[in-house]
Chains A and B, each alone.
Chain A
Amino acid sequence: MESTVLKVEDFSAYFGDNQILKNINLDTSSNLVTALMGPSGCGKTTLIRCVNRMHELIPGTKVTGKMYLKNDDIYAMQPIVLRRKIGMVFQKPNPFPMMSIYDNVIAGYKLNGIRLKKDEFDNIVERSLKGSALWEEVKDSLYRKGTFLSGGQQQRLCIARALAMNPEILLLDEPTSALDPKSTSAIEELIVELKKTVTMLLVTHNIAQAARVSDFTAFIYLGELIEFGPTEKMFTVPKDKRTEEYLTGKFG
Protein backbone atom coordinates (compact mmCIF):
# COMPACT_ATOMS: atom_id res chain seq x y z
CA MET A 1 0.00 0.00 0.00
CA GLU A 2 1.44 3.31 -0.98
CA SER A 3 1.39 6.12 1.48
CA THR A 4 3.28 9.33 1.93
CA VAL A 5 6.29 8.89 4.16
CA LEU A 6 7.87 12.30 3.84
CA LYS A 7 5.95 15.46 3.07
CA VAL A 8 7.81 18.68 2.38
CA GLU A 9 5.67 21.83 2.42
CA ASP A 10 6.80 25.29 1.29
CA PHE A 11 10.20 24.54 2.73
CA SER A 12 13.01 27.10 2.61
CA ALA A 13 16.46 27.01 4.17
CA TYR A 14 18.94 29.79 4.85
CA PHE A 15 22.63 29.87 5.70
CA GLY A 16 22.92 33.26 7.29
CA ASP A 17 21.56 35.62 4.67
CA ASN A 18 21.85 33.16 1.80
CA GLN A 19 18.68 31.43 0.80
CA ILE A 20 19.70 27.93 -0.16
CA LEU A 21 16.29 26.36 -0.65
CA LYS A 22 13.26 28.18 -2.01
CA ASN A 23 9.78 26.91 -1.25
CA ILE A 24 10.25 23.23 -1.89
CA ASN A 25 7.17 21.06 -2.09
CA LEU A 26 7.42 17.33 -2.54
CA ASP A 27 6.15 13.99 -1.28
CA THR A 28 7.95 10.69 -0.96
CA SER A 29 5.86 7.56 -1.21
CA SER A 30 6.57 4.40 0.72
CA ASN A 31 8.70 1.61 -0.73
CA LEU A 32 9.92 3.80 -3.55
CA VAL A 33 13.17 5.53 -4.29
CA THR A 34 12.96 9.27 -4.81
CA ALA A 35 16.07 10.82 -6.31
CA LEU A 36 17.16 14.42 -5.88
CA MET A 37 19.31 15.49 -8.77
CA GLY A 38 20.79 18.75 -9.89
CA PRO A 39 24.10 20.50 -10.56
CA SER A 40 26.60 21.13 -7.76
CA GLY A 41 25.45 23.66 -5.23
CA CYS A 42 21.81 23.43 -6.17
CA GLY A 43 20.75 22.62 -2.62
CA LYS A 44 19.96 18.93 -2.88
CA THR A 45 22.40 17.97 -0.12
CA THR A 46 21.02 20.74 2.07
CA LEU A 47 17.52 19.45 1.47
CA ILE A 48 18.29 15.91 2.46
CA ARG A 49 20.14 17.06 5.56
CA CYS A 50 17.16 19.12 6.59
CA VAL A 51 15.11 15.94 6.75
CA ASN A 52 17.00 14.60 9.74
CA ARG A 53 18.00 18.06 10.85
CA MET A 54 21.72 17.42 10.43
CA HIS A 55 22.04 20.89 8.93
CA GLU A 56 21.54 22.23 12.46
CA LEU A 57 25.09 21.18 13.30
CA ILE A 58 26.28 24.12 11.28
CA PRO A 59 25.67 27.39 13.09
CA GLY A 60 23.67 30.10 11.36
CA THR A 61 21.14 27.90 9.59
CA LYS A 62 17.47 28.70 9.56
CA VAL A 63 14.47 27.05 8.01
CA THR A 64 10.89 27.99 7.26
CA GLY A 65 8.05 25.80 6.12
CA LYS A 66 7.17 22.33 7.23
CA MET A 67 8.36 18.78 6.90
CA TYR A 68 6.33 15.80 8.01
CA LEU A 69 7.54 12.30 8.64
CA LYS A 70 4.36 10.24 8.43
CA ASN A 71 2.23 13.00 9.92
CA ASP A 72 4.74 14.00 12.60
CA ASP A 73 6.11 17.51 12.30
CA ILE A 74 9.84 17.03 11.95
CA TYR A 75 10.70 20.40 13.37
CA ALA A 76 8.51 19.94 16.41
CA MET A 77 10.28 16.77 17.48
CA GLN A 78 13.47 16.37 19.45
CA PRO A 79 16.31 16.00 16.93
CA ILE A 80 17.63 12.97 18.79
CA VAL A 81 14.27 11.22 18.68
CA LEU A 82 13.85 12.16 15.03
CA ARG A 83 17.23 10.86 13.98
CA ARG A 84 16.56 7.48 15.52
CA LYS A 85 13.66 7.10 13.12
CA ILE A 86 15.66 8.11 10.08
CA GLY A 87 18.66 6.29 8.70
CA MET A 88 21.42 8.12 6.88
CA VAL A 89 24.21 6.88 4.65
CA PHE A 90 26.95 9.31 3.75
CA GLN A 91 29.14 9.90 0.76
CA LYS A 92 32.26 8.58 2.43
CA PRO A 93 31.69 5.23 4.15
CA ASN A 94 32.11 5.90 7.88
CA PRO A 95 31.95 2.74 9.98
CA PHE A 96 33.21 3.25 13.52
CA PRO A 97 36.86 2.17 13.36
CA MET A 98 37.14 1.12 17.00
CA MET A 99 34.16 -1.23 16.83
CA SER A 100 33.81 -4.71 15.44
CA ILE A 101 31.47 -5.34 12.53
CA TYR A 102 28.92 -6.77 14.95
CA ASP A 103 29.09 -3.70 17.17
CA ASN A 104 28.97 -1.38 14.20
CA VAL A 105 25.67 -2.81 13.04
CA ILE A 106 24.06 -2.36 16.45
CA ALA A 107 25.86 0.90 17.17
CA GLY A 108 22.57 2.77 17.07
CA TYR A 109 21.35 0.71 19.98
CA LYS A 110 24.56 0.53 21.94
CA LEU A 111 25.48 4.19 21.76
CA ASN A 112 21.97 5.17 22.72
CA GLY A 113 22.03 2.85 25.69
CA ILE A 114 19.19 0.67 24.38
CA ARG A 115 19.62 -2.72 25.99
CA LEU A 116 18.43 -5.93 24.42
CA LYS A 117 19.17 -9.61 24.94
CA LYS A 118 22.13 -11.10 23.12
CA ASP A 119 20.02 -13.20 20.76
CA GLU A 120 17.86 -10.22 19.93
CA PHE A 121 21.01 -8.38 18.92
CA ASP A 122 22.19 -11.44 16.99
CA ASN A 123 18.94 -11.42 15.03
CA ILE A 124 19.19 -7.73 14.31
CA VAL A 125 22.78 -8.08 13.10
CA GLU A 126 21.96 -11.01 10.83
CA ARG A 127 18.81 -9.40 9.45
CA SER A 128 20.54 -6.07 8.75
CA LEU A 129 23.63 -7.60 7.18
CA LYS A 130 21.46 -9.82 5.00
CA GLY A 131 19.42 -6.78 4.07
CA SER A 132 22.52 -4.98 2.91
CA ALA A 133 23.86 -8.03 1.04
CA LEU A 134 26.91 -8.26 3.27
CA TRP A 135 26.07 -11.22 5.47
CA GLU A 136 27.72 -13.95 3.40
CA GLU A 137 30.96 -12.03 3.18
CA VAL A 138 31.36 -11.21 6.87
CA LYS A 139 29.41 -13.82 8.81
CA ASP A 140 32.62 -15.54 9.88
CA SER A 141 34.38 -12.38 10.95
CA LEU A 142 31.67 -10.51 12.80
CA TYR A 143 33.89 -9.77 15.75
CA ARG A 144 36.77 -8.38 13.76
CA LYS A 145 37.12 -4.67 13.27
CA GLY A 146 35.76 -3.54 9.96
CA THR A 147 38.97 -1.98 8.69
CA PHE A 148 39.79 -4.87 6.36
CA LEU A 149 36.61 -4.32 4.37
CA SER A 150 36.76 -2.71 0.96
CA GLY A 151 35.10 0.64 0.28
CA GLY A 152 31.97 -0.96 -1.14
CA GLN A 153 31.73 -3.39 1.77
CA GLN A 154 32.19 -0.59 4.29
CA GLN A 155 29.36 1.31 2.67
CA ARG A 156 27.15 -1.76 2.91
CA LEU A 157 28.09 -2.01 6.57
CA CYS A 158 26.92 1.58 7.01
CA ILE A 159 23.68 0.68 5.25
CA ALA A 160 23.26 -2.29 7.59
CA ARG A 161 23.88 0.00 10.55
CA ALA A 162 21.11 2.29 9.34
CA LEU A 163 18.74 -0.59 8.56
CA ALA A 164 19.23 -2.06 12.03
CA MET A 165 17.24 0.80 13.50
CA ASN A 166 14.23 0.02 11.25
CA PRO A 167 14.09 3.55 9.93
CA GLU A 168 10.93 4.94 8.44
CA ILE A 169 12.97 6.44 5.65
CA LEU A 170 16.56 5.91 4.55
CA LEU A 171 18.48 8.96 3.39
CA LEU A 172 21.35 8.33 0.99
CA ASP A 173 23.64 11.28 0.40
CA GLU A 174 25.62 10.44 -2.76
CA PRO A 175 26.34 6.96 -1.42
CA THR A 176 28.45 5.82 -4.36
CA SER A 177 30.46 8.95 -5.15
CA ALA A 178 33.51 7.64 -3.32
CA LEU A 179 33.32 4.10 -4.69
CA ASP A 180 34.73 2.33 -7.73
CA PRO A 181 32.35 1.32 -10.56
CA LYS A 182 31.97 -2.28 -9.44
CA SER A 183 31.03 -1.31 -5.87
CA THR A 184 28.78 1.41 -7.26
CA SER A 185 26.73 -1.04 -9.27
CA ALA A 186 26.57 -3.42 -6.31
CA ILE A 187 25.12 -0.65 -4.17
CA GLU A 188 22.69 0.35 -6.93
CA GLU A 189 21.40 -3.19 -7.17
CA LEU A 190 21.09 -3.24 -3.40
CA ILE A 191 19.01 -0.07 -3.49
CA VAL A 192 16.66 -1.58 -6.07
CA GLU A 193 16.34 -4.68 -3.87
CA LEU A 194 15.82 -2.65 -0.67
CA LYS A 195 12.88 -0.84 -2.23
CA LYS A 196 10.71 -3.77 -1.20
CA THR A 197 11.17 -3.01 2.47
CA VAL A 198 12.47 0.52 2.84
CA THR A 199 11.52 3.96 1.57
CA MET A 200 14.52 5.88 0.28
CA LEU A 201 15.53 9.40 -0.60
CA LEU A 202 18.67 9.53 -2.70
CA VAL A 203 20.87 12.49 -3.54
CA THR A 204 23.05 11.97 -6.57
CA HIS A 205 24.99 14.15 -8.93
CA ASN A 206 25.06 11.27 -11.39
CA ILE A 207 22.12 11.66 -13.73
CA ALA A 208 22.43 8.12 -15.04
CA GLN A 209 22.25 6.76 -11.51
CA ALA A 210 19.05 8.65 -10.82
CA ALA A 211 17.66 7.23 -14.06
CA ARG A 212 18.64 3.66 -13.28
CA VAL A 213 17.60 3.42 -9.72
CA SER A 214 14.79 5.78 -8.80
CA ASP A 215 11.05 5.68 -9.25
CA PHE A 216 10.52 9.40 -8.81
CA THR A 217 12.98 12.16 -9.55
CA ALA A 218 13.14 15.74 -8.34
CA PHE A 219 15.24 18.18 -10.32
CA ILE A 220 16.55 20.97 -8.16
CA TYR A 221 18.32 24.00 -9.53
CA LEU A 222 19.52 27.06 -7.61
CA GLY A 223 17.44 26.04 -4.61
CA GLU A 224 14.19 25.66 -6.51
CA LEU A 225 12.31 22.51 -7.30
CA ILE A 226 12.09 22.75 -11.08
CA GLU A 227 10.34 19.48 -11.80
CA PHE A 228 9.17 16.43 -9.91
CA GLY A 229 7.66 13.31 -11.38
CA PRO A 230 7.98 9.64 -12.29
CA THR A 231 11.49 8.89 -13.47
CA GLU A 232 10.31 7.20 -16.66
CA LYS A 233 8.51 10.29 -17.79
CA MET A 234 11.09 12.79 -16.64
CA PHE A 235 13.88 11.20 -18.59
CA THR A 236 11.93 10.74 -21.81
CA VAL A 237 9.58 13.71 -21.81
CA PRO A 238 10.68 16.34 -19.28
CA LYS A 239 8.13 19.08 -18.84
CA ASP A 240 10.40 21.99 -18.01
CA LYS A 241 12.90 23.36 -20.51
CA ARG A 242 15.56 23.63 -17.79
CA THR A 243 15.17 19.95 -16.96
CA GLU A 244 15.62 19.15 -20.63
CA GLU A 245 18.78 21.26 -20.77
CA TYR A 246 20.21 19.67 -17.64
CA LEU A 247 19.53 16.16 -18.89
CA THR A 248 21.08 16.83 -22.26
CA GLY A 249 24.16 18.29 -20.62
CA LYS A 250 23.71 21.89 -21.58
CA PHE A 251 24.62 22.94 -18.07
CA GLY A 252 25.57 21.50 -14.70
Chain B
Amino acid sequence: MKDHTAVRMIKDKAFRVIVILLACFSMLPLLLILYYITRNGIAVINWEFLTQLPRPIGETGGGIFNAVIGTGMLIVLSSILSIPFGITAGIYLSEKSEGKIANIVRLCVVVLQGTPSIVIGIVAYIWVVAPFHSFSALSGGVALSIMMLPVIIKATEETLKLMPYHLKEASLALGVPYYKTILKVILPTGLSGILTGILLSVARITGETAPLLFTAFGNQFMNWNLFKPIDSLPYRIFYYAMSPYPEWHTFAWGASFILVVLVLAFNLIARGVAVKWKVQF
Protein backbone atom coordinates (compact mmCIF):
# COMPACT_ATOMS: atom_id res chain seq x y z
CA MET B 1 0.00 0.00 0.00
CA LYS B 2 2.69 2.40 0.94
CA ASP B 3 4.60 1.99 -2.32
CA HIS B 4 1.49 2.58 -4.35
CA THR B 5 0.97 5.97 -2.78
CA ALA B 6 4.55 6.99 -3.34
CA VAL B 7 4.42 6.01 -7.00
CA ARG B 8 1.13 7.87 -7.43
CA MET B 9 2.55 10.98 -5.91
CA ILE B 10 5.55 10.88 -8.17
CA LYS B 11 3.28 10.43 -11.18
CA ASP B 12 1.15 13.33 -10.03
CA LYS B 13 4.14 15.61 -9.68
CA ALA B 14 5.59 14.48 -13.01
CA PHE B 15 2.33 15.20 -14.76
CA ARG B 16 2.20 18.65 -13.28
CA VAL B 17 5.77 19.43 -14.30
CA ILE B 18 5.13 18.22 -17.86
CA VAL B 19 2.01 20.34 -18.21
CA ILE B 20 3.80 23.46 -16.98
CA LEU B 21 6.76 22.80 -19.25
CA LEU B 22 4.58 22.32 -22.31
CA ALA B 23 2.66 25.46 -21.50
CA CYS B 24 5.90 27.37 -21.33
CA PHE B 25 7.06 25.85 -24.58
CA SER B 26 3.92 27.04 -26.31
CA MET B 27 4.84 30.59 -25.38
CA LEU B 28 8.25 30.13 -26.93
CA PRO B 29 7.39 30.96 -30.56
CA LEU B 30 5.79 34.23 -29.53
CA LEU B 31 8.68 35.14 -27.30
CA LEU B 32 11.17 34.27 -30.02
CA ILE B 33 9.30 36.37 -32.58
CA LEU B 34 9.19 39.32 -30.25
CA TYR B 35 12.84 38.90 -29.42
CA TYR B 36 14.06 38.70 -33.00
CA ILE B 37 11.91 41.49 -34.28
CA THR B 38 12.91 43.73 -31.41
CA ARG B 39 16.55 42.89 -31.73
CA ASN B 40 16.61 43.47 -35.44
CA GLY B 41 14.07 46.18 -35.74
CA ILE B 42 14.59 48.50 -32.84
CA ALA B 43 17.89 49.81 -34.13
CA VAL B 44 16.16 51.28 -37.16
CA ILE B 45 13.51 53.13 -35.26
CA ASN B 46 14.10 56.83 -35.11
CA TRP B 47 12.16 59.96 -35.78
CA GLU B 48 13.26 60.07 -39.42
CA PHE B 49 12.13 56.50 -39.94
CA LEU B 50 8.70 57.23 -38.69
CA THR B 51 8.09 60.55 -40.39
CA GLN B 52 9.79 60.32 -43.76
CA LEU B 53 8.57 58.87 -47.01
CA PRO B 54 10.45 56.05 -48.72
CA ARG B 55 13.32 57.11 -50.94
CA PRO B 56 13.56 55.82 -54.52
CA ILE B 57 15.85 52.93 -55.37
CA GLY B 58 19.47 53.84 -54.94
CA GLU B 59 18.99 56.53 -52.33
CA THR B 60 19.56 55.79 -48.67
CA GLY B 61 17.45 56.83 -45.73
CA GLY B 62 13.78 57.50 -45.75
CA GLY B 63 11.00 56.07 -43.71
CA ILE B 64 7.65 54.42 -43.56
CA PHE B 65 5.43 57.35 -42.84
CA ASN B 66 3.09 56.61 -45.72
CA ALA B 67 2.79 52.99 -44.64
CA VAL B 68 1.85 53.95 -41.09
CA ILE B 69 -0.70 56.49 -42.30
CA GLY B 70 -1.95 54.03 -44.87
CA THR B 71 -2.53 51.32 -42.31
CA GLY B 72 -4.31 53.85 -40.17
CA MET B 73 -6.59 54.89 -43.01
CA LEU B 74 -7.34 51.30 -43.91
CA ILE B 75 -8.28 50.52 -40.31
CA VAL B 76 -10.62 53.51 -40.18
CA LEU B 77 -12.14 52.69 -43.55
CA SER B 78 -12.73 49.04 -42.88
CA SER B 79 -14.13 49.84 -39.44
CA ILE B 80 -16.61 52.31 -40.90
CA LEU B 81 -17.71 49.71 -43.43
CA SER B 82 -17.89 46.70 -41.15
CA ILE B 83 -19.10 47.97 -37.76
CA PRO B 84 -22.66 49.00 -38.70
CA PHE B 85 -23.36 45.79 -40.60
CA GLY B 86 -21.57 43.67 -38.03
CA ILE B 87 -23.37 45.03 -35.00
CA THR B 88 -26.77 44.99 -36.68
CA ALA B 89 -26.31 41.40 -37.83
CA GLY B 90 -25.11 40.52 -34.32
CA ILE B 91 -28.24 42.08 -32.81
CA TYR B 92 -30.43 40.15 -35.24
CA LEU B 93 -28.77 36.84 -34.46
CA SER B 94 -28.93 37.38 -30.71
CA GLU B 95 -32.67 38.06 -30.90
CA LYS B 96 -33.51 35.18 -33.20
CA SER B 97 -32.16 31.97 -31.82
CA GLU B 98 -34.00 29.96 -34.45
CA GLY B 99 -35.39 30.63 -37.86
CA LYS B 100 -34.36 30.10 -41.44
CA ILE B 101 -32.76 33.47 -42.08
CA ALA B 102 -30.94 33.43 -38.78
CA ASN B 103 -29.48 30.01 -39.43
CA ILE B 104 -28.36 30.96 -42.92
CA VAL B 105 -26.69 34.09 -41.59
CA ARG B 106 -24.91 32.06 -38.95
CA LEU B 107 -23.67 29.63 -41.56
CA CYS B 108 -22.37 32.44 -43.72
CA VAL B 109 -20.52 33.90 -40.77
CA VAL B 110 -18.80 30.60 -40.11
CA VAL B 111 -17.87 30.16 -43.75
CA LEU B 112 -16.64 33.71 -44.06
CA GLN B 113 -14.43 33.28 -41.04
CA GLY B 114 -12.75 30.34 -42.71
CA THR B 115 -12.35 31.95 -46.12
CA PRO B 116 -8.70 32.49 -47.07
CA SER B 117 -7.78 36.15 -46.99
CA ILE B 118 -6.34 36.06 -50.46
CA VAL B 119 -9.67 34.92 -51.85
CA ILE B 120 -11.36 37.85 -50.16
CA GLY B 121 -8.76 40.05 -51.77
CA ILE B 122 -9.66 38.70 -55.18
CA VAL B 123 -13.33 39.27 -54.57
CA ALA B 124 -12.63 42.87 -53.59
CA TYR B 125 -10.61 43.20 -56.76
CA ILE B 126 -13.59 42.14 -58.83
CA TRP B 127 -16.00 44.37 -56.95
CA VAL B 128 -14.01 47.55 -56.63
CA VAL B 129 -10.71 47.51 -58.46
CA ALA B 130 -12.01 46.33 -61.81
CA PRO B 131 -14.97 48.74 -62.16
CA PHE B 132 -12.83 51.70 -61.14
CA HIS B 133 -9.91 50.52 -63.22
CA SER B 134 -7.57 51.32 -60.36
CA PHE B 135 -6.17 49.91 -57.20
CA SER B 136 -7.49 51.94 -54.34
CA ALA B 137 -7.59 52.39 -50.60
CA LEU B 138 -11.33 51.86 -50.88
CA SER B 139 -10.95 48.37 -52.25
CA GLY B 140 -8.46 47.56 -49.50
CA GLY B 141 -10.95 48.82 -46.97
CA VAL B 142 -13.66 46.67 -48.49
CA ALA B 143 -11.52 43.56 -48.36
CA LEU B 144 -10.48 44.15 -44.77
CA SER B 145 -14.01 44.98 -43.71
CA ILE B 146 -15.22 41.65 -45.06
CA MET B 147 -12.59 40.02 -42.89
CA MET B 148 -13.67 41.99 -39.85
CA LEU B 149 -17.36 41.12 -40.22
CA PRO B 150 -17.43 37.58 -38.79
CA VAL B 151 -15.52 38.55 -35.67
CA ILE B 152 -17.72 41.56 -34.96
CA ILE B 153 -20.93 39.65 -35.65
CA LYS B 154 -19.92 36.78 -33.40
CA ALA B 155 -18.74 39.03 -30.59
CA THR B 156 -21.91 41.11 -30.72
CA GLU B 157 -24.15 38.07 -30.80
CA GLU B 158 -22.38 36.37 -27.91
CA THR B 159 -22.27 39.52 -25.80
CA LEU B 160 -25.93 40.33 -26.31
CA LYS B 161 -26.95 36.75 -25.63
CA LEU B 162 -25.25 37.03 -22.27
CA MET B 163 -27.37 40.03 -21.38
CA PRO B 164 -29.86 38.76 -18.80
CA TYR B 165 -33.49 38.76 -19.77
CA HIS B 166 -34.49 40.74 -16.71
CA LEU B 167 -32.67 43.76 -18.10
CA LYS B 168 -34.98 43.81 -21.10
CA GLU B 169 -37.96 43.23 -18.85
CA ALA B 170 -37.10 46.22 -16.69
CA SER B 171 -37.04 48.48 -19.73
CA LEU B 172 -40.14 47.05 -21.38
CA ALA B 173 -42.11 47.31 -18.14
CA LEU B 174 -41.44 51.04 -18.21
CA GLY B 175 -43.26 51.27 -21.50
CA VAL B 176 -40.13 51.55 -23.62
CA PRO B 177 -40.62 50.17 -27.16
CA TYR B 178 -38.63 47.07 -28.04
CA TYR B 179 -36.23 48.65 -30.51
CA LYS B 180 -35.37 51.41 -28.06
CA THR B 181 -34.78 48.84 -25.37
CA ILE B 182 -32.18 47.19 -27.58
CA LEU B 183 -30.55 50.44 -28.65
CA LYS B 184 -30.60 52.36 -25.40
CA VAL B 185 -30.35 49.67 -22.78
CA ILE B 186 -29.03 46.37 -24.11
CA LEU B 187 -26.38 47.72 -26.48
CA PRO B 188 -24.83 50.18 -24.03
CA THR B 189 -24.71 47.49 -21.37
CA GLY B 190 -22.97 45.13 -23.75
CA LEU B 191 -20.60 47.77 -25.03
CA SER B 192 -17.53 46.22 -23.48
CA GLY B 193 -18.01 42.91 -25.24
CA ILE B 194 -18.80 44.53 -28.58
CA LEU B 195 -15.87 46.89 -28.33
CA THR B 196 -13.59 43.99 -27.52
CA GLY B 197 -14.81 42.22 -30.63
CA ILE B 198 -14.12 45.27 -32.74
CA LEU B 199 -10.64 45.76 -31.31
CA LEU B 200 -9.77 42.12 -31.83
CA SER B 201 -10.91 42.22 -35.43
CA VAL B 202 -8.86 45.38 -35.96
CA ALA B 203 -5.85 43.66 -34.45
CA ARG B 204 -6.37 40.87 -36.91
CA ILE B 205 -6.64 42.91 -40.08
CA THR B 206 -3.84 45.29 -39.19
CA GLY B 207 -1.33 42.72 -40.31
CA GLU B 208 -3.19 41.22 -43.27
CA THR B 209 -1.11 41.32 -46.41
CA ALA B 210 -2.60 39.01 -48.99
CA PRO B 211 -5.84 40.88 -49.66
CA LEU B 212 -3.98 44.14 -49.99
CA LEU B 213 -1.89 42.77 -52.82
CA PHE B 214 -4.85 42.99 -55.17
CA THR B 215 -6.56 45.97 -53.75
CA ALA B 216 -4.68 48.69 -51.97
CA PHE B 217 -1.58 47.57 -53.74
CA GLY B 218 0.94 49.91 -52.17
CA ASN B 219 2.29 53.34 -52.98
CA GLN B 220 5.71 54.92 -52.81
CA PHE B 221 4.18 58.22 -52.07
CA MET B 222 1.85 59.67 -49.54
CA ASN B 223 -1.73 59.28 -50.63
CA TRP B 224 -4.82 60.70 -49.05
CA ASN B 225 -7.10 59.84 -51.93
CA LEU B 226 -9.33 56.89 -51.26
CA PHE B 227 -9.61 56.02 -54.91
CA LYS B 228 -5.92 55.63 -55.47
CA PRO B 229 -3.53 52.96 -54.25
CA ILE B 230 -2.35 53.38 -50.70
CA ASP B 231 0.65 52.03 -48.85
CA SER B 232 0.37 49.91 -45.73
CA LEU B 233 2.75 48.41 -43.18
CA PRO B 234 2.31 44.78 -44.28
CA TYR B 235 2.75 45.74 -47.89
CA ARG B 236 5.84 47.82 -47.17
CA ILE B 237 7.34 44.97 -45.18
CA PHE B 238 6.66 42.59 -48.05
CA TYR B 239 8.11 45.00 -50.59
CA TYR B 240 11.25 45.73 -48.60
CA ALA B 241 11.81 42.15 -47.54
CA MET B 242 11.61 40.87 -51.13
CA SER B 243 14.08 43.49 -52.33
CA PRO B 244 17.80 42.86 -52.83
CA TYR B 245 18.94 45.86 -50.79
CA PRO B 246 20.33 45.29 -47.27
CA GLU B 247 19.24 48.70 -46.10
CA TRP B 248 15.70 47.92 -47.13
CA HIS B 249 15.92 44.68 -45.21
CA THR B 250 16.65 46.57 -42.06
CA PHE B 251 13.72 48.82 -42.85
CA ALA B 252 11.59 45.72 -43.16
CA TRP B 253 12.63 44.70 -39.67
CA GLY B 254 11.82 48.15 -38.39
CA ALA B 255 8.42 48.16 -40.01
CA SER B 256 7.76 44.67 -38.65
CA PHE B 257 8.59 45.92 -35.21
CA ILE B 258 6.11 48.78 -35.54
CA LEU B 259 3.49 46.40 -36.87
CA VAL B 260 3.96 43.93 -34.03
CA VAL B 261 3.77 46.74 -31.49
CA LEU B 262 0.51 47.93 -33.06
CA VAL B 263 -1.09 44.48 -33.09
CA LEU B 264 0.06 43.83 -29.55
CA ALA B 265 -1.35 47.18 -28.45
CA PHE B 266 -4.77 46.49 -29.97
CA ASN B 267 -4.89 43.08 -28.32
CA LEU B 268 -3.91 44.44 -24.94
CA ILE B 269 -6.39 47.31 -25.14
CA ALA B 270 -9.08 44.81 -26.10
CA ARG B 271 -8.19 42.78 -23.04
CA GLY B 272 -8.26 45.88 -20.87
CA VAL B 273 -11.66 46.89 -22.16
CA ALA B 274 -13.01 43.40 -21.60
CA VAL B 275 -11.84 43.36 -18.02
CA LYS B 276 -12.37 46.92 -16.91
CA TRP B 277 -15.63 47.79 -18.60
CA LYS B 278 -17.33 44.47 -18.14
CA VAL B 279 -20.73 44.69 -16.48
CA GLN B 280 -21.18 42.01 -13.85
CA PHE B 281 -24.54 40.36 -13.33
Beyond A97-B279, A98-B279, A147-B280, is A83–B175 a contact (Cβ under 8 Å)? yes
B172:A54 contact, CB within 8 angstroms: yes
> A90's contact among B166, B175, B279, by CB below 8 Å, is which?
B166
In the complex, chain B residues whose CB is within 8 Å of the CB of A147: 280
Residue of A nearest to B279 (CB): A97
Q: Give 1 or 0 for each of A44-65: 1 = CB within 8 Å of chain B CB.
A: 0000000010100100000000
Residue of B nearest to A82 (CB): B175
In the complex, chain B residues whose CB is within 8 Å of the CB of A111: 171, 174, 176, 180-181, 184-185
B185:A96 contact, CB within 8 angstroms: yes
Q: How far is the CA of A147 from the CA of B279 in the complex (A)?
A: 9
B170:A96 contact, CB within 8 angstroms: yes
Q: How far is the CA of A25 from the CA of B158 in the complex (A)?
A: 44
Q: How far is the CA of A150 from the CA of B90 in the complex (A)?
A: 33
In the complex, chain A residues whose CB is within 8 Å of the CB of B166: 90, 92, 94
A96:B189 contact, CB within 8 angstroms: yes
Q: Give 1 or 0 for each of B161-204: 1 = CB within 8 Å of chain A CB.
A: 00010110111111111001100110011010000000000000
A108:B174 contact, CB within 8 angstroms: yes
B171:A52 contact, CB within 8 angstroms: no
A158:B175 contact, CB within 8 angstroms: no
Q: How far is the CA of A95 from the CA of B174 in the complex (A)?
A: 12
In the complex, chain A residues whose CB is within 8 Å of the CB of B185: 96, 98, 111
Interface range, A side: 20 to 34
Q: How far is the CA of A92 from the CA of B169 in the complex (A)?
A: 11
> A94's contact among B167, B279, B280, by CB below 8 Å, is which?
B167
In the complex, chain B residues whose CB is within 8 Å of the CB of A88: 173
Residue of B nearest to A85 (CB): B175
In the complex, chain B residues whose CB is within 8 Å of the CB of A84: 174-175
* Minimum distance in angstroms from A46 CB to a CB of chain B: 15
Report A148-187 residues with CB < 8 Å from chain B CB: 158, 161, 165
> B169's contact among A54, A97, A107, A108, by CB below 8 Å, is which?
A54
Beyond A80-B175, A97-B279, is A158–B189 a contact (Cβ under 8 Å)? no
In the complex, chain B residues whose CB is within 8 Å of the CB of A86: 173
A81:B175 contact, CB within 8 angstroms: yes
A90:B189 contact, CB within 8 angstroms: no
* Minimum distance in angstroms from A153 CB to a CB of chain B: 16
In the complex, chain B residues whose CB is within 8 Å of the CB of A165: 174-175
Q: Give 1 or 0 for each of B129-145: 1 = CB within 8 Å of chain A CB.
A: 00000000000000000
A112 adjacent to chain B (CB < 8 Å)? yes
Residue of B nearest to A108 (CB): B174
A90:B176 contact, CB within 8 angstroms: no
In the complex, chain A residues whose CB is within 8 Å of the CB of B171: 96, 107, 111
A94:B189 contact, CB within 8 angstroms: no
* Minimum distance in angstroms from B132 CB to a CB of chain A: 43
In the complex, chain B residues whose CB is within 8 Å of the CB of A158: 170
Residue of B nearest to A86 (CB): B173
B189:A97 contact, CB within 8 angstroms: yes
B173:A98 contact, CB within 8 angstroms: no
Q: How far is the CA of A95 from the CA of B166 in the complex (A)?
A: 10
Report A64-120 residues with CB < 8 Å from chain B CB: 79-84, 86-88, 90, 92, 94-98, 107-108, 111-112
Best-surrounded residue of B173, B176, B177 (most CB of chain A within 10 A): B173
In the complex, chain B residues whose CB is within 8 Å of the CB of A79: 175
Residue of B nearest to A107 (CB): B174
A161:B174 contact, CB within 8 angstroms: yes
A108:B167 contact, CB within 8 angstroms: no
> B173's contact among A81, A83, A96, by CB below 8 Å, is which?
A83
Q: How far is the CA of A158 from the CA of B177 in the complex (A)?
A: 19
Q: How far is the CA of A10 from the CA of B53 in the complex (A)?
A: 82
A83:B170 contact, CB within 8 angstroms: no
Q: Give 1 or 0 for each of A124-161: 1 = CB within 8 Å of chain B CB.
A: 00000000000000000000000100000000001001
Q: How far is the CA of A92 from the CA of B165 in the complex (A)?
A: 11
Report B230-263 residues with CB < 8 Å from chain A CB: none
Q: How far is the CA of A128 from the CA of B172 in the complex (A)?
A: 20
In the complex, chain B residues whose CB is within 8 Å of the CB of A92: 166
Beyond A97-B189, A111-B184, is A57–B172 a contact (Cβ under 8 Å)? yes
A52:B188 contact, CB within 8 angstroms: no
Q: How far is the CA of A80 from the CA of B175 in the complex (A)?
A: 4
* Minimum distance in angstroms from A166 CB to a CB of chain B: 13
* Minimum distance in angstroms from A155 CB to a CB of chain B: 12
5 contacts between A and B (CB under 8 A): A80-B175, A82-B175, A90-B169, A94-B170, A95-B170
A residues within 8 Å of B by Cβ?
A: 52, 54, 57, 79-84, 86-88, 90, 92, 94-98, 107-108, 111-112, 147, 158, 161, 165
Ranked nearest first, the 10 interchain pairs of A and B with the lowest CB-CB distance are A84-B175, A83-B175, A88-B173, A94-B170, A108-B174, A94-B166, A111-B176, A97-B279, A80-B175, A98-B188
